[in-house]
Structure 1
Amino acid sequence: MGGKRKKSESQKLIEGGKDNDKNKEGSNKKKREILPSMIKNKEKRSSVHAKLKHEKKLEKRKKLKARDAAEKLALELGEEPPPRMVPRTIENTREPDETVCRPDDDELFAGNDADEFSSVLKHDRTPKILITTCRFNSTRGPAFISELLTVIPNAHYFKRGTYDLKKIVEYANNKDFTSIIVVHTNRRDPDALLVIGLPDGPTAHFKLSKLVLRKEIKNHGNPTGHLPELVLNNFTTRLGHRVGRLIQSLFPQDPEFRGRRVVTFHNQRDFIFFRHHRYIFETKESKESDSKGKKAKEDSKSKKAKDAKGEKITKEKVIARLQECGPRFTLKLISLQHGTFDTKGGEFEWVHKPEMDTSRRRFFL
């Protein structure tokens, strides 16, 4: 009995020593895991940060290689490859919205035939745009307007002077203009756009930010006088559909594809990004990697093989290349008003309020 007691006590001592060793190892690991923000020396902090970043990059590469190998093995065995994980983003986790348009919404398409933009979009009227400024213009305002005149076909600039906006609306209606664009400036830069549909509205007020003019874009292109193609992305809700049709009414609906001009309004998280490009098609030699199996190896051998004259056989493929023409800016809808511009008696369809920004996953366009 005594021997067993001593043995059990010795076992307890050994196990206690092991536990102490484990605790020491755990404490040592905690000591080793020092965050870069805890290091006071700037050079050492930056080197530790670079090392951790490099290690994360290597781990990510290993995971990608393992995933590609598993997919390749599944394809060789005739099985379905494992499903890829879809990353969680703000867009795919957005809050559900009842106003999202659906392709089978008959009421929406019936309303399109009777709204304010139907006459322009059905080719009954050709778009004719009047562009003006606020009463106090800035240095970058005229440069931005001159580039807008090259982007929007059949657009005309008129100096604001001391005229009220209501009188300008009356004048534009008498001269058969279809829309008015007012460029508002603050200090040096344009900071807002007011788009008024004629003759019955609506009036959209956009905040303008991140303006980059054509001369500020590296390797920019010069647009031609052809009618551009118009691309509208992600205007999914009822409000977004209405704003998209307002933007669409500014451009003619018969693009000239020879000019290779593309004007894009891309909506993402209720920010409308404007881009203006020219595209070109080029023929380039195709270069296939050897990691695609036996077919890729045979193709590479055939490329290296020479014909009777001793010339190398190469394959060609057509590649599309984009060249930005400018300008580049971002819009955010502030309000949408019924009818033409009226600050006192106008009714608003939608107004952005600070209370709407409580959730980052809630979008209105």
Structure 2
Amino acid sequence: MGFKRKKDSQDLGSEFDDDEKVKKMKKTVEKEKKEILPSMIKNKEKRSEVHAKLKIQKKLEKRKKIKARDAAEKRALELGEEPLPREIPRTIENTREHDETVCKAFDEELTAWNDADEFSSIYKCERTPKILFTTSRFNSTRGPAFISELCDVFPNSHYYKRGTYDLKKIVEYAKNKDFTSLIVVHTNRREPDALLIIGLPDGPTAHFKLSKLVLRKDIKNHGNPTKHDPELILNNFTTRLGLRVGRLIGSLLPQNPDLLGRRVVTFHNQRDFIFFRHHRYIYESKETKEATGSKKKEAKMIARLQECGPRFTMKLISLQHGTFDTKSGEYEWVHKPDMDTSRRRFFL
């Protein structure tokens, strides 16, 4: 004879929890049925229409959030309170992998290293930069056109045709003629695709991949550069390797810029891609809108940038000790495919 056990409070509670779980599961299934993703629609026209609607909806929600944030900041300022700090967006740059070679400010070892490197005489204004430009043996018309524009960027630079001369002989010739740098523009399929920058007389030698080249004539509303010595801007060269590459690039230009020329040369490093830009800044007087209560227009002085060109992007392939030597040269750093396993790992 069996006896039925009475249900205690714990059993009732567990049954109640199971019912709630079932209800939640049903609700999520219903929601999933209602929410139809664009990728689930087979018709192309309908799919693009739904995608456009979702995109507009996201934009409107983003605008509402921005308006609400601005209103809260304005209200806090009126009340004399400090507004809430804005959230810093997560980017690849600010979530980069930790690197021990990142340079710290006011590092005595680093300053001593800079004072004793190959470029110290140029940075101390003991030597004036003098650059020799040449091309690869089989070059196209676009290579010399690119070099002629680079000669307008870098003062005291000279272009010599390569001919059949070996590069080591050209290095020796440049040393005897007191050149401080040798730049070789390599072309492939009638398009410049690499730069070899050799510091003279003791190196180092940097090999860069060249991409996205735009000459001056192809830049809309471009300006024509003057002969004044330009200002130099080097951005985001933070590691030991980046600092060495930045000092090599900086040694191509005089360290006493002529500010009257209003020329600016920028090398901006972002995710190990070095973006080159050449600008001149212009001061213009612009009439502002009518002031309240008066019909007169006020003139305001503004500054704007005008690009002079050329425009291109570089990526470091290798850095070698001394001058160019492919057989017995010692490399400081070489880029390998194994290094590209993480998107958040940068070397410059």
Kept in 2: contact 1:304–1:313 (CA 8 A) = no
The whole-number CA distance in structure 1 between the counterparts of 2:23 and 2:203 is: 78
Aligned counterpart for 1:208 among listed residues 197, 205, 210? 210
Letter of the 1:335 partner, please give it: S
The whole-number CA distance in structure 2 between the counterparts of 1:174 and 1:130 is: 12
Match of 2:169 in 1: 167
Q: Deviations over 1:314-338 (max 9, x none)?
A: 4443321111111111100111111
Q: Deviations over 1:141-178 (max 9, x none)?
A: 11111111111111100011111111001100110100
Q: Does residue 1:354 correspond to 2:342, yes or no?
A: no
Match of 1:57 in 2: 59
Q: Deviations over 1:184-208 (max 9, x none)?
A: 1111111110000000000000011
Aligned counterpart for 1:143 among listed residues 133, 145, 160? 145
Match of 1:317 in 2: 300
Residues 1:68 and 1:109: Cα distance change in structure 2 (over 3 Å): same
Q: How many residues align?
A: 331
Match of 2:108 in 1: 106
Aligned counterpart for 2:292 among listed residues 295, 301, 304? 304
Q: Cα distance, 1:285 vs. partner?
A: 3.8
Q: Cα distance, 1:217 vs. partner?
A: 1.1
The whole-number CA distance in structure 1 between the counterparts of 2:191 and 2:58 is: 42
Alignment of 1:178-257 (within 5 A): 178-257=180-259
Q: Cα distance, 1:23 vs. partner?
A: 7.4
Residues 1:22 and 1:241: Cα distance change in structure 2 (over 3 Å): closer
The whole-number CA distance in structure 2 between the counterparts of 1:351 and 1:23 is: 55
Gaps of 5+ in 2: 1-19
Q: Cα distance, 1:26 vs. partner?
A: 5.1
Kept in 2: contact 1:94–1:361 (CA 8 A) = yes
SS at match of 2:143: helix
Kept in 2: contact 1:305–1:313 (CA 8 A) = no
Cα RMSD between the aligned structures? 2.1
SS at match of 1:331: strand
Match of 2:319 in 1: 336
Q: Deviations over 1:60-110 (max 9, x none)?
A: 000001111111111111111111110000100111111111112101101
Q: Cα distance, 1:24 vs. partner?
A: 7.2
Q: TM-score, normalised by structure 1?
A: 0.86
Q: TM-score, normalised by structure 2?
A: 0.90
Q: 4+ residue runs of structure 1 moved beyond 3 angstroms?
A: 18-29, 313-317
User: Could you tell me the percent identity over the aligned residues?
Assistant: 79
The whole-number CA distance in structure 1 between the counterparts of 2:105 and 2:255 is: 21
The whole-number CA distance in structure 2 between the counterparts of 1:208 and 1:21 is: 60
Residues 1:21 and 1:191: Cα distance change in structure 2 (over 3 Å): same
Q: Deviations over 1:253-296 (max 9, x none)?
A: 11111111111000001100000111112223445xxxxxxxxx
SS at match of 1:304: coil
Alignment of 1:25-44 (within 5 A): 27-44=29-46
Q: Which moved more, 1:346-355 or 1:30-39?
A: 30-39
The whole-number CA distance in structure 2 between the counterparts of 1:57 and 1:228 is: 42
SS at match of 1:275: strand
